[in-house]
Amino acid sequence: MKTWRLSVALFGATVLCGSVVLAGEVNKVNLTTDQTINVEGKTLNPGNYKAEWAGTGPNVQVTLKQGKNTIATFPAHLQEQQNKNNADAYGIMPGPNGTRELSAIYVGGKRDVLQIQNSAANEQQQSSNPGAK
């Protein structure tokens, strides 16, 4: 009986560890904006958001959530910068009709930056000072 319980416990631990490995690393960034921003045709009102992506890049799929609600899902290019980011932040660029388009997400404490691959970002070149908030 003890051997059976031990076998079941070991099997359960193996399954649990295996599912964690298969799930991959999920990365998260908290973003707080005090202005209206557009991303992939969706409008982000001022508030708190969480950006999540799986993998290490270079091409990742970002899911932007507010609470439990998914607001937008979009492609991004994960790059490493020379210097670490002081905090989670975002970059914006001018969009059509005076809108602000999300162009980058900076990961606090790391050198990672997610370059947003939206149409406005592809049409314009980003400056060296991304206007991070």
Domain spans, the chain: 25-123
Average pLDDT over every residue of 56-66: 91
Q: Which residue has the higher pLDDT, 73 or 56?
A: 73
pLDDT tens, residue by residue, 14-48 = 545 444 444 556 799 999 999 999 998 899 999 99
| pLDDT of the residue at 67 | 94
pLDDT tens, residue by residue, 66-116 = 999 999 999 999 999 999 999 999 999 999 888 999 999 999 999 999 999
pLDDT at residue 8 tops 60: no
Q: What is the DSSP string of 14-53?
A: HHHHHHHHHH--EEEEEEEESS-EEETTEEE-SEEEEEEE
Classified as helix, coil or strand, 84 is coil
- Distance between CA 96 and CA 100 in Å, rounded? 8
Tell the burial category of 112 from Cβ atoms under 10 Å away from its Cβ (0-12, 13-18, 19+). buried
| pLDDT of the residue at 11 | 57
Confidence band for 55, pLDDT divided at 50, 70 and 90: confident
* DSSP conformational letter for 8: H
- Distance between CA 10 and CA 4 in Å, rounded? 10
| pLDDT of the residue at 54 | 86
* Full-model pTM: 0.70
Confidence band for 117, pLDDT divided at 50, 70 and 90: confident
DSSP 3-state helix, strand, coil percentages of the chain (rounded to 5)? 25, 45, 30
Are 108 and 133 spatial neighbours (Cβ–Cβ below 8 Å)?
no
